[in-house]
Amino acid sequence: MNFNKSWTLFLDRDGVINEKIENDYVKSWSEFTFVEKSVEAISFLSKIFGKIILVTNQRGVGRGLMSELDLISIHKRMIDEIKKRSGRIDKIYYCTDVLDTDECRKPNTGMAILAKNAFPEIDFTKSIIVGDSSVDIEFGRKLGFTTVFINSSNKEVNYKFDFKFNSLHDFAQYLNTN
């Protein structure tokens, strides 16, 4: 595929940009650890894609384990670190609802619709979602995105995706060599 500035990159957060905490949530900056080379990957991807949008389910807020201000603070620090290394994320959308029926909770498409409303130039047929779970892939498939599954543990999955890589960095390396 020939990706360029007319394409939009949608990224999941936990398990793609930062290490996922199994059976828990990243509730503070002290618990946030970037996946190895993910910031470098975002810096490289920032040169290719016209927009980079973060879409993340954050049920921990809805469950009262952290505040929305805690989440905003984590995202601000994350963006600052990415910017320091010449990367960017153009907008962050998050869903704090605990119910799977909420229109913005992936795999529902509300966050992508909000992004399209804010950036009308987004073309879903020229969009990619990079995520590490079935809800990320299903979200992308519903919208006609190219889907990239990050499978750092090489676990067997029973859902269809377009590409599979061990990390966001591996995906960026693939684009750099193709």
Answer yes or no: is pLDDT of 115 > 90: yes
Side chain identity at residue 115, one-letter code: A
What domain count does the chain have? 1
Q: Domain for residue 3, yes or no? A: no
Burial category of 9 from C-beta neighbours within 10 Å (exposed 0-12, middle 13-18, buried 19 and up): buried
User: Which pLDDT score is estimated for 33?
Assistant: 98
The question of whether 100 is a catalytic residue gets the answer no
Inter-residue contact 9 to 130 (CB < 8 Å): yes
Residues 12, 70, 132, 136: which is the catalytic one? 12
Inter-residue contact 59 to 135 (CB < 8 Å): no
What is the pLDDT confidence band of residue 155, given thresholds at 50, 70 and 90?
Answer: confident
**C-alpha to C-alpha distance for 41 and 54, rounded to whole angstroms:** 14
Which CATH number characterizes residue 133's domain? 3.40.50.1000
**C-alpha to C-alpha distance for 137 and 159, rounded to whole angstroms:** 8
The question of whether 170 is a catalytic residue gets the answer no
Tokens coding 178: 């193709």
Q: Domain for residue 125, yes or no? A: yes
Q: Domain for residue 2, yes or no? A: no
Residue 90 structural domain: 19-177
Which tens digits make up the pLDDT trace of 88-111? 999 999 999 999 999 999 999 999
**C-alpha to C-alpha distance for 1 and 97, rounded to whole angstroms:** 35
Inter-residue contact 112 to 124 (CB < 8 Å): yes
Q: Domain for residue 13, yes or no? A: no
Burial category of 135 from C-beta neighbours within 10 Å (exposed 0-12, middle 13-18, buried 19 and up): middle
Residue identified by tokens 């650890």 is 33
Q: Domain for residue 56, yes or no? A: yes
Residue identified by tokens 């900056």 is 29
* Residue whose C-alpha is closest to residue 10's, from 74, 92, 78: 92
Distance of CA 91 to the CA centre of its chain: 11
Which tens digits make up the pLDDT trace of 2-48? 889 999 999 999 999 999 998 999 999 999 999 999 999 999 999 99
First vs last Cα of the chain: how many Å apart?
Answer: 8
Side chain identity at residue 1, one-letter code: M
User: Which pLDDT score is estimated for 131?
Assistant: 98
pTM of the model: 0.96
